[in-house]
Amino acid sequence: MGFWSALFFAIALSLDGLGVGVAYGIQKLVLPVKARIMISVVSFSAITAALYCGKVIGRLLPGEYATTLGRLILLVIGLWFLFQAWVEKKEKSVTEQNLPLAELSLKSLGIVILVLRHPSAADFDRSGSINIREAVFLGMALAMDAVGAGVGASIGASWPWYTPLLVGLSKFTFLSTGLALGRICYKQQAPKQAHPGLSYLPGLILCLLAIGGF
């Protein structure tokens, strides 16, 4: 795989950091540089492990089957991301109408939505600032679904060694950018929600990578 495929892959797995950063900025919650670095390190570690696991699985399968399975898994993960975005949109619509919020039984989806919609949930001690321990939890929540994409992507293809590094850097960049945008929105009383289409972008990127052969 080339640089651009690795970059788009990293963006797809890190774009959720933008929403979290905006949410923290709007609520005036502090996300220190060291916490952002820790979240990025968790993402880096998770993707490294996922790519390695996928590579091991790929070696156990014939070449053509490994490629097909890898693309299929990545496509399924992309569709799952799209489904999550659709669920979040529906839940926001229900909440705006003051109707009961539907319970989610899927743990990974529930945790990620909880963090994205209620970022203060990661602030266990209610200090208004995310410490290292809380950053680890937040990083794990954000990396949970990305692990599946990493495994699928590496089953049928060999990714550049710097792919996990791109994921970590992208996560830090999106978190920092979102935090700055959130603070601007708070000061200027600008709209406090990103364009609804943005949440569908990660899933679309993964689907395109899968269909286009990475």
Among candidates 57, 30, 44, which has minimal Cα distance to 125? Answer: 30
Which H or E run includes 44? helix 33-59
User: In which band, very low, low, confident or very high, does the pLDDT at 22 lie, cut at 50, 70 and 90?
Assistant: confident
Domain parsing of the chain, residue ranges = 3-211
Give whole-number Cα distances, 86 to 62, 72, 109, 122, 198, in Å.
Answer: 36, 21, 12, 23, 11
CB 138 within 8 A of CB 144: no
Residue 91 pLDDT: 61
Q: Which tens digit of pLDDT belongs to each residue from 101-160?
A: 333 333 444 445 555 455 556 666 677 778 888 888 888 877 876 788 888 888 877 888
User: Given this model, what pLDDT does residue 46 score?
Assistant: 92
| Rounded Cα gap, residues 179 and 133, in angstroms | 19
* Paired tokens of 30: 């502090």
Structure tokens at 95: 């909440």
| Predicted pLDDT at 30 | 84
Segment 93-98 shows an average pLDDT of: 46
Mean of pLDDT values over 165-173:
94
Q: How far is C-alpha 54 from the chain's CA centre? A: 19
- Per-residue pLDDT reduced to its tens digit, 183-210: 887 676 655 555 556 677 777 877 887 7
**How many residues appear in the chain?**
214
